[in-house]
Amino acid sequence: MALGLRCFRLVHPAFCNSLAALTRPVSEVTLQTVRRRQNDHGQCMAYATVPVRHFATKKAKAKGKGQSQTRMNLNTALVEDIINLEEVDEEMKSVIEALKDNFNKTVNIRTSPGSLDNITVVTADGKLALNQISQIAMKSPQLILVNMASFPECTAAAIKAIRESGMNLNPEVEGTLIRVPIPKVTREHREMLVKLAKQNTNKAKDSLRKVRTNAINKVKKSKDKASEDTIRLIEKQISQMADDTVAELDRHLAVKTKELLG
């Protein structure tokens, strides 16, 4: 029996190596050398580690999928040949600037002469700004005067435009002189200005949608110049730019609302 155990000790490493070779279909099997000391003699024995198959988890697959998409980089020269994204960005930024300018001029707690400057008046010669056909001055903290002496025929149109400006103004006419009383700063007046700010913001978003639609339509007309994947990526980029601009418009509205309501 002792002889049998000695033989098994000699055969054991070879047997393990053979077994490891048979179970090697997935990955290389590593041998761990374990040094054991028996009877004050160093003896080295090799044991085969169990082969392990590494399966991709759902998270890893999702990550890999995302990486394959990010490898689809756009060629800058190709994009410029299809559309100038910098110009699109400038158009979107101009929408933001127009809203900020509108807020500063027309959506204020205290009405000033400058808030009437850009009120659009429909005349026989087309649409003109009020300050182009009149002289606007502050008579007192409670009254603005609009002198229509240079264009008396536009007086009625100017009165209508002031009333429909959304600033809660009720002008009174004396010949060619339009008297515009400044509303008292009441809670109702503040809430009316907030409503006006929201209306102007929605108009700005309409303008932004036109910019986005025009840009995407231009990209779609260039399908013969680029692959569908490239066209799709450019469209996504434009949409993201538009979404960022909408967020900026909403931010300015929130700031203005807080200012108006105190």
- Greater pLDDT, 79 or 203: 203
> Is residue 257 over pLDDT 50?
yes
> Is residue 23 over pLDDT 50?
no
Distance of CA 86 to the CA centre of its chain: 15
Query: For residue 106, what pLDDT band results from cuts at 50, 70 and 90?
Result: confident
Strands 172-174 and 177-181: antiparallel
pLDDT exceeding 90 applies to what percent of the chain? Answer: 42
- Greater pLDDT, 231 or 23: 231
| 177-186: average pLDDT | 89
Query: For residue 34, what pLDDT band results from cuts at 50, 70 and 90?
Result: very low
Instruction: Provide the whole-model pTM.
Output: 0.57
Query: What type of residue is 51?
Result: P
Alpha helices in the chain (DSSP H): 2-22, 58-70, 76-82, 85-106, 130-133, 155-163, 187-220, 228-261
> Is residue 180 over pLDDT 90?
yes
Residues sharing a CB contact under 8 Å with residue 247, sequence separation 6 or more, in sequence order: none
> Is residue 72 over pLDDT 90?
no
Summarised one tens digit per residue, pLDDT across range 133-162 is: 999 999 888 899 999 999 999 999 999 999
> Is residue 248 over pLDDT 60?
yes
Q: Give pLDDT, residue 40.
A: 46
Summarised one tens digit per residue, pLDDT across range 112-128 is: 777 888 789 999 889 99
| Structure tokens belonging to residue 18 | 């053979």
- Greater pLDDT, 11 or 120: 120
Summarised one tens digit per residue, pLDDT across range 74-97 is: 556 667 778 889 999 999 999 999
| Structure tokens belonging to residue 234 | 């450019």
- Greater pLDDT, 203 or 36: 203
Query: For residue 65, what pLDDT band results from cuts at 50, 70 and 90?
Result: very low
- Over the chain, what is the mean pLDDT? 76
| Structure tokens belonging to residue 62 | 């999702």
Q: Give pLDDT, residue 117.
A: 85
- Greater pLDDT, 117 or 44: 117
> What region does 136 belong to: left with phi over 0, alpha with psi -120 to 50, or beta?
beta
pLDDT exceeding 70 applies to what percent of the chain? Answer: 70
Q: Give pLDDT, residue 125.
A: 87
| Structure tokens belonging to residue 136 | 């606007």
- The region of weakest confidence among 5-9, 171-175, 187-191, 247-251 is 5-9
Q: Give pLDDT, residue 200.
A: 93
| Structure tokens belonging to residue 22 | 């048979």
DSSP 110-136: S--GGGGTT-EEEETTEEEEHHHHSEE
